[in-house]
Amino acid sequence: MTTTPPGAGLGAAIRTWRNRLPPSAAGLPVVRKRRTVGLRREELADLAGVSVDYVVRLEQGRATTPSASVVASLARALQL
C-alpha cells in the first residue's frame, strides 16, 4: 500500500495551476525565451507575497497546513 504524504495533493494542484497561467496573464513582462510556459515559482511567490522557499515546501508536500490567508493569496495570484 502506498501512502500519500499530507499536502501532496495541494502541491500537485499548485504546480498544475502555476503551469497553466502564462506570465502575460499575470501582468508580468516576458523579456526572454522561457523554458516554461507558466509562472516560475519565484514569480508566483512574488505575486502571492510569500517566500519562494514556502512555495517549494508547499509543492513538495513538506508544508501541509498553509493558513487561510496564504491560500487566498496563492489563489488570487493564480487567478483562481
Domains along the chain?
8-77 (1.10.260.40)
**pTM score of the predicted model:** 0.84
Among the listed residues 17, 34, 20, 36, the one whose alpha carbon sits nearest the alpha carbon of residue 74: 17
Sign of the C-alpha dihedral, residues 56, 59, 65, 71? positive
Q: What percent of the chain has pLDDT over 90?
A: 62
pLDDT, tens digit, 9 for 90 and up, residues 2-14: 555 555 689 999 9
Residues of the chain with pLDDT under 50: none
Which amino acid is it at 27?
A: G
Q: Which pLDDT belongs to residue 1?
A: 53
C-alpha cell at 6: 499530507
